[in-house]
Chains A and B, each alone.
Chain A
């Protein structure tokens, strides 16, 4: 019987959360586990907050992760991590990308937010926190598009994802277009170098 694993991915429309959630699901399917996921699709996608729920294991009914039960949260953006923090289990891990994405409304007088305060809040409230400098890894790999794989690799390093880094490599080789394979494998290597405990 496969133990339940709950994973929440959150970010801003267009950051690549959907592909990351598909890879987690794909890996679990390869292990022969049940999978349920839920995605944000439609109007909310365009620059809005997006959340993917991924649940694997035998005893899952709801496609949405119940609050306070996420084993791991992969946040593509700090404010979105805080927005979804209620989902995290008391001993859950948070992998967060350092770079803040300001809402478009901040440009014409809307409220922005204090990214340092938000990261500070995460540091104070999450015991198992990994802050990823996504920009640095993306620059090394030559494309902003590898952010999702870098974060996924950092999550695999935490040991809370139910997927090892090598398993992630396998899945990426099977699922990612050959043209983009090298840079994505590089992103995994860079994340492993930094975050493998």
Chain B
């Protein structure tokens, strides 16, 4: 039944897949994509299967098997996750699917919560997979249904690339919440189809290249691509920038002078529609985030069809090369393009405002682990390689314990490279439990096999914390609500041949310091597992208090950086904010006056 619901873009994507009768949903958490799978799991009620996979590659391959068997599948990840899944992605583009497959890869202009500002639309062109680019939660919902149709018509996976403002924007969306089951006919053996071989790949390559222009023509007719208005000033845009352009045109009163080309399928590019647009405009401004994908297509089409139209955008220095668009940023370059003045706004000198960097929570076990290693390595030459997760925040002062961070799993391997060039340095790698299962194990195998000296610090907080608390193989809980095969970290490390493994509670501070010291003295690959749950998983303990013995030295603040410790400017002492303190007691370990109890 059709209903108006207040949905986050990610929930709207899940709703689209549910209405399309999805049979399997898999993915790996990553901002801004995480809530798609969480929402699908919440609504499942046993009608379809949902899993957090160990990483994006596993998620895509699991979904491929289900699609081979005729089920409709949804795979979710953030843009850097698509890098991990790119191996199966490129091959699956050749092999194709039977049941419809929609792969959501959420891009993050800004970036707001990511390592890169990469653009999934390039991956669409690279893998030659059709790609939908929603401009709102409502459109994202509609696109999922359309994507399944395209996927099954052409037996191909289809990409959906929402961006943060679509994923995390909420809107009143009209959705049909009826689950229309799409009954799979099961896996039918066909080696010509399901076994990738050079000869079949050659034939598939031809098939894909022949399909692309057919799809481009089809997309020229599709409602997600359209021309609005008939002014001679052209504006081309896609994704959330379409919403900004709509508002900017209205605020600037340019509706009569412009026509807008809205691109909802950046690949294959709707050539016929775009050529019609180019032909009816004198010049075109492109408003898009991340890379100049639409702009490049338009410049290419102007050349291909010999059309005398100038295209303005990132290549010409008329719009910003990096970062997010907003209504204001679009207004600025649109006013310039249309030759009008922007309405002036009064500016007054505001007082200085504080900077608020994100910090580890009060009571976070990572703080204790970092501080213990810092104490243990005082005076020693050591490099601390970090990884992706809450514990990346260990880089901030006063901890300052993350020297490198590259991508998921790279803590273990970068430490090995540094060791090869600087053998006299003690090399530490810090990895979270979820990251370890996602992409840390091959790095440990590499270290053991190649006989490297390395201290592996596994920060096991029993959750994928940064993305809001998802389970993983180490927790055993599954998204189907069952207790699955819980994997024991110690046994994994033993199995991988790690010579020395010690499990500590990082809040047993001095024990942890000693465990780290001991591990640092040994040759080979050693692991110290710091096991204590994320503060969001457990009820906080009784808050600590500062007694009269406090001498106001502030060593507790300067060493731990815990947000629950506050300087009292009047009494020149430290006070503990009882509302924040979880009673972890880490600060008491560094207090020289025994003033925290």
Contacts and interface: CB of A to CB of B under 8 A. Distances in A.
Interface stretch (A34-42, A151-159, A184-192): A34-42
Contact of A48 (B350, B356, B398): B356
B315 interface: no
Interface stretch (A91-99, A109-117, A163-171): A109-117
A61 B165 contact: no
A121 B6 contact: no
A35 B170 contact: yes
A25 B170 contact: yes
A49 B169 contact: no
Contact of A67 (B168, B327, B351): B327
A46 B169 contact: no
A47 B169 contact: no
A94 to B, nearest CB: 14
Contact of B328 (A47, A66, A117, A125): A66
B360 A46 contact: yes
Interface in B437-494: 466-468
Contacts of B112: 40, 42-44
Interface stretch (B244-252, B270-278, B377-385): B244-252
Contact of A107 (B168, B567, B579): B567
Contacts of A48: 356-358
A164 B165 CA distance: 29
Contacts of A104: 356-357, 359, 561, 563
Given A121-B351, A125-B348, A29 B6 contact: yes
B247 A47 contact: no
B165 A108 contact: no
A40 B356 CA distance: 14
Contact of B165 (A38, A45, A82): A38
B328 A79 contact: no
**Looking at B240, B243, B353, B360, which has the most chain A CB atoms within 10 Å of its CB?**
B353
A26 interface: yes
Contact of A79 (B136, B242, B244, B354): B354
Contacts of B565: 107
Interface residues of A, number: 52
A35 B170 CA distance: 8
Nearest to A41: B168
**Looking at B168, B250, B354, which has the most chain A CB atoms within 10 Å of its CB?**
B354
Interface string B332-348: 00000000000001001
A163 to B, nearest CB: 15
B561 A66 contact: no
A108 B345 contact: no
Contact of B355 (A29, A111, A121): A111
Given A26-B6, A113-B352, A41 B32 contact: yes
B415 interface: no
Contacts of A41: 31-32, 113, 168, 468
A102 to B, nearest CB: 7
A84 to B, nearest CB: 10
A81 to B, nearest CB: 10
Interface residues of B, number: 55
B146 interface: no
A142 interface: no
B393 interface: yes
A1 interface: no
A103 B356 contact: yes
A107 B563 CA distance: 9
B243 A42 contact: no
Interface string B105-126: 0000000110000000000000
B153 interface: no
A128 interface: no
B354 A113 contact: yes
B558 interface: yes
Nearest to B562: A104
B6 A108 contact: no
A12 interface: yes
A26 to B, nearest CB: 7
A64 B170 contact: no
Contacts of B466: 42-43
Nearest to A53: B169
Given A25-B6, A64-B327, A83 B169 contact: no
A47 B353 contact: no
A193 interface: no
Interface string A72-90: 0000000100110110000
B561 A108 contact: yes
Given A42-B112, A48-B356, A61-B247, A37 B397 contact: no
8 contacts: A48-B356, A62-B240, A67-B345, A103-B356, A106-B354, A108-B397, A108-B558, A110-B355
Interface of A: 12-13, 25-26, 29, 33-49, 59, 61-64, 66-68, 79, 82-83, 85-86, 102-108, 110-114, 117-118, 121, 125, 144
Given A42-B112, A106-B354, 8 more contacts: A61-B243, A63-B240, A64-B165, A66-B327, A103-B356, A104-B561, A111-B355, A121-B351
- Considering the complex of A and B, which 4 residue pairs feature the smallest CB-CB distances, nearest first? A42-B113, A63-B169, A42-B31, A66-B327
